[in-house]
Amino acid sequence: MERNDIVIGMAGSGGDGVVSAGEILVSAGASEGVHAFMLKSFGPQIRGGESSCRVRLSGKQIQSHGDQVQVLGIFSWNDFKQFRGEMHLNDPVVIVMDSADKTSKDDIPIDEDIDRIIYEVPIAQLAKDKAGTLQAKNMVMLGVLSELFGLPDEGLRDAIRKKFKKKDQEVIDSNLKAMEAGATYVRDEIDKTDEVKFSFTPAEPKVLMEGNEAFAYGALYAGCRFSAGYPITPSSEIMEWMGRELPKYDGTMLQSEDELAAIGMVIGAAFAGKKAMTATSGAGISLMSEQIGLASMAELPLVIMNVQRTGPSTGIPTKTEQADLQQALYGTHGDANRVVIAPADVEDCFDVAVQAFYISEKYQIPVIVLSDQYLGQRKETFDQDALFQSDNGFMKTIKREVPTGEDLEDYKRFKFTESGVSPMAYPGIEKGMYQAAGLEHGEHGLPTSDVDMHAKMTEKRFRKNKVIAEELNFVRFYGPEDAEVGVIGWGSSKGAIKEAIQRLNDDGYPVSAAVPQILMPFPQEKLEKYLEPLNTVYVAEMSYSGQFYKYLKGFLRFGDRELKKYARSGAAPFDVSEIYNTVKQEFE
């Protein structure tokens, strides 16, 4: 059967080059204009442990890592075991394995109900014989997969050349030879009995990026010129990117001594007039919470990216979850106003970065961006012209409003205004001197413990939300407007939800979905309206305790509608079929 959508899984030990094979594969896809998506996953070792990747290639727009793995490339079954829980296999599954692995057919660690077609290939042997090095095993595997399943082989050769372009021609040649050896072996020795065949129409090359890169790039584009951070998986790529790029554009990236210092430095830079950000995850965001409150109180614009990982505590640093929602919304003492936005795909990470800086600068408020490992570290393609446009048409950058002329005669840093926003001076602006503080203050910024002033200032800080909500209230909707069954999710779950809805609709089930991009201020009106036709609402999230479910209940009146929680702990992102099957039950 020809298909234009294929999901390939690979597993091996670090030295097998599984991840770099995956990278070459998505890069090949992107260069041929194919939609590509790649998830990687590692065991706990720093180097050389088990690793796996999942690559999806498709002729049509894709939203997620796809469902069950149809093709499995195995260097070692022992390494595969680590990923059994997260790699759901299609039935039947086609397996290409190195014949050097002597696991007997009966002991193969996959569910015995799953039918399998196995091709054994002497991968290590071929790498050694044809390329002279075991390091080329992954190239042999690529050659085999490409020949067996019709992958973009010209693209693959290009991608290999690019990958090794800094090395000697010899290295490139030996890798190409290894790939060719794999393909030749298939032609000469294998009798193809499975039916998986990928077909695609070459098109204009696509952009291939990771979420963390897209966010960092978006921040730079938005005018961010200061960033500080402390390394933590899975967010470090953002500070690494910033460290390489910001100095080229007259900016600064500092590696701080801890997250307390990271956000402190960012607060200092924001106070000094710069667009500033930090990125962190897990323990790091917990350490930052006190100073998020400071930024709220001092009405300082800054952007805090939390690439969520599996928690609590150290949790699983390399895996995803959506369980930092409550912390983003409410973490830190006091009524500390902030904005929370969640990007939904890699390209959206760029858009959200731009919007986060827009909101923070315009409204002088800390903006927390909630991404996650699934979004931050996956590779995904999108069209070349997509990046500088956004799904909600919002791609504005802005300069902070500073006091001028009259404002400066008797400068009130925290002047009461209709919008709650008061022009903000920074060191260097004559007559703009004021004291920023975590202490409650009056309009001039002087400390106060006055009851009425506290009431008024709190109200002022929250007044901004109304204006923000008018300007930004983007919610993604999928499916027919009059559907009676709906799904609400957020952030990185968008992909699986959107695809599940499409599939349900194709199969004749009238289901819709809503995925808000901005979570605080809450897009009340849009979601209320969305609820109207629904009888049943599923709330889907990777949080065991149902943090999003509880949050929605605080804002929306569900009335007689049946409210169903599809809340599970994270570590593995949603599969499309998981949402599909859950919602389909409604119709059985």
Among 61, 272, 312, 419, binds other proteins (CB under 8 A): 272
Q: Which residue, chain included where needed, has tokens 């009146």?
A: 557
Q: Furthest-apart CA pair in the chain: how many Å? A: 86
Considering only 53, 145, 181, 276, the residue that binds other proteins (CB under 8 A) is: 276
The Cα–Cα gap between 341 and 362 comes to 15
- What lies within 8 Å, CB to CB, of 584 at 6+ separation is 504, 509
Site string for other proteins, 377-416 (x = CB under 8 A): -------x--xx----------------------------
Using the contact rule CB under 8 A, the part of the chain among 5-13, 90-98, 272-280, 530-538 near other proteins is: 272-280
Contact (CB, 8 A) for 388 and 353: no
Residue 32 or 321: the one with the smaller Cβ distance to other proteins is 32
- Contact residue for other proteins among 144, 196, 254, 552 (CB under 8 A): 254
- Structural tokens at position 548: 């999003």
Q: How far apart are CA 358 and CA 393, in angstroms?
A: 14
Distance of alpha carbon 458 from alpha carbon 443, whole angstroms: 12
**What residues from 27 to 56 belong to the interface with other proteins (CB under 8 A)?**
27-28, 30-31
Q: Of 92, 268, 317, 510, which one interacts with other proteins (CB under 8 A)?
A: 268
- For residues 422 and 412, what is the distance between their CA atoms, to the nearest angstrom? 8
Per CB under 8 A, the list member of 40, 177, 206, 498 interacting with other proteins is: 206
527 binds other proteins (CB under 8 A): no
- Which C-beta is closer to other proteins: that of 430 or that of 532? 430
Q: Does 262 bind other proteins (CB under 8 A)?
A: yes
- Choose one: 75-83, 195-203, 261-269, 303-311; the region binding other proteins (CB under 8 A): 261-269
Binding to other proteins by residue 432, rule CB under 8 A?
Answer: yes
Alpha-helix runs per DSSP H in 91-223: 123-126, 137-149, 153-163, 169-189, 211-222
- List Cβ neighbours of 73 (8 Å cut-off, separation of 6 or more): 8, 9, 10, 11, 18, 21, 95, 96, 97, 141, 144, 145
Q: Does 457 bind other proteins (CB under 8 A)?
A: no
Nearest to 485 by CA among 390, 564, 389: 564
**Sole window of 1-9, 120-128, 288-296, 351-359 interacting with other proteins (rule: CB under 8 A):** 288-296
* Interface characters, 215-234, with other proteins (x: CB under 8 A): --x--xx----x-x------
Cβ atoms of 229 and 238 within 8 Å: the answer is yes
Angle at which helices 259-271 and 282-297 cross, to 10° = 30
What does DSSP assign to residue 441? B
Tell me whether strands 116-121 and 89-98 are parallel, antiparallel or unpaired.
parallel
**Got the DSSP string for 476-520?**
EEES-TT-SEEEE--GGGHHHHHHHHHHHHHTT--EEEEEESEEE
Q: How far apart are the first and last CA of the chain?
A: 30
Choose which of 146, 256, 371, 492 interacts with other proteins (CB under 8 A): 256
Count residues near other proteins (CB under 8 A). Answer: 69
Is 294 one of the binding residues for other proteins (CB under 8 A)? yes
260 vs 398, beta carbon nearer other proteins:
260
Nearer to other proteins, 439 or 455 (CB): 439
Find the shortest distance in angstroms from Cβ 155 to other proteins: 8
Select from 165, 446, 450, 587 the one that contacts other proteins (CB under 8 A). 446
Please list every residue from 557 through 586 that binds other proteins, using CB under 8 A: none
**Is 116 a residue that touches other proteins (CB under 8 A)?**
no
Indicate the SS3 state at residue 90. strand
500: its two tokens: 């599940």
Binding flag, residue 435, other proteins (CB under 8 A)? yes
Of 261, 500, 513, 514, the one binding other proteins (CB under 8 A) is 261
267 binds other proteins (CB under 8 A): yes
Q: What is the closest distance, in whole angstroms, from the C-beta atom of residue 330 to other proteins in the complex?
A: 18
Alpha-carbon distance of 13 to 10, in angstroms, equals: 10
Range 296-325, binding other proteins (CB under 8 A): 298
Binding mask 143-162 for other proteins (x = CB under 8 A): ---------------xx--x
What is the contact surface with other proteins in residues (CB under 8 A)? 27-28, 30-31, 158-159, 162, 205-209, 213, 217, 220-221, 226, 228, 244-245, 247-250, 252, 254, 256-258, 260-274, 276, 290-291, 294, 298, 384, 387-388, 425-439, 446-447
